[in-house]
Chain A
C-alpha cells in the first residue's frame, strides 16, 4: 500500500501494519483466551489441587486451595503452594456472593459459569479449545506462507546481538516509538508465546484426554504423566495471563488509540 502524505505541517504517514487475517485472529484469540481462562478455572474448582506424575497423591498436592474454620470460627480460605500456606480469604478458598460466604477455590466473578457447574464449564472450555486451536493454526499458517513470521517476528542476528541494550532500555521503561518492526524483546516474546506456550497449553490439554493418550501415549512421557500435564496446563494458563497483562500495559503506554486503531483497521499512524 502506498503511504498517504498529509498537507498539514505536522505530517504523518500511514503504514498498513496488520493484514485482515492477523486482525481477525487477534480478536478471536482474545475471546478464546478469556473464555478458556475463566471456564478453565471453573473446571479447576471441581478439584482444586495439583500434583506431579501420573496419579494424584491426595495427601501431598503441589498446590491446593481449600477452606477451613479459623481459630475464631470465622471462615478462612487457604492457598497451599509447595507446603507454604497463605490466607487468601475473600478471593481463594472462601469468597462472597451477594454478601454470603461461599466455599470455592476461584471466586464466582472469575469463572464461567459463575455458579459451581463443572458440566457447563467443560462445554464452554471444549468448544473454545477447538476455536483456539483452529484460529492458532490459521494464524501460524498465514504467517509462515506470507513470510510475516520470519520478516516481522523472528529477530535478526544483529538484533539478537543488541538484546542486552534493548533489555536495559526496557527495564528503564524507555520504549521506542513503534514503527514497522517489532523490537527484539517484543518479537521474541511473541515467538515464545506462539511457538512454545500455546502449543504446550494445547498439548497438555490433550494429554488429559484418556482417548488421546491411548492413541499417543508418548504425550504422557513428554509431560511426565497425566497429573503433571494438568499442572503444566495450569501454569501455562497463568503464563498467558502474565503475557496478556504485559501486552495490555504496553498497548496502554505506547499510544492506546493508535495501537487499537491499527489492530482494528490495520493502519498505523507514524509521525514523519
Chain B
C-alpha cells in the first residue's frame, strides 16, 4: 500500500463519514458545518489526484462561498437552530432502499467499466498554468458562455430577491406578499395545506 493510497483511504473515510452526517444530523447548522469537512476532504482528494487548480477552486468556491451562502440561507429563513425532529420526511426506508439500489448499480457499472484504467499520477498534472492554457486553447467559448451565465445569475438573484417591485395585479396571488403582511401568509398557508 503506497502512501498515496493511505491518504486516499483517510480522505475517503472522512468524506463519506461527514457526508453521511450531513444527511443524518438533526441540527441544520451542523449539517452545513459537516459539509465544510466533506468539501475540504474532497479538495484533499483532488490534490492527491494532482488537480491542484481544481482543489483550490474547490476550497475557494465551495468551502469559502457556497457554505457561507447556505449558512446565510439558514439564518434568513429562521430555521430551527437546535435539534428538530421534523427535518426528515417519512419515507426514510423507501429512500434508503432506492439509495442502496443506486449505489449498487453505480458501483457495479463503474467497477465493470473501468477495472483496469489506471495511470500512475505524475506531478504537476493540473497546475493553474496548465489549466489556464488548456482553458484558453480549447474551452474559450464555454468560458465566455459561463461568464454570461454568471451575469444572468447576478441579475436573476437581484430580481428574485428585491421586494420593491410593483407587479401587475393579474400576476399571481403572491403579488401582495412583497410587504410581508403576516395575515396574507396565514391565508396562503391555509390554502397550501388544504391542497395537501
Q: Do A and B bind each other?
A: no
- Interface residues in chain A, defined as those with a beta carbon under 8 Å from any beta carbon in chain B: none
- Interface residues in chain B, defined as those with a beta carbon under 8 Å from any beta carbon in chain A: none
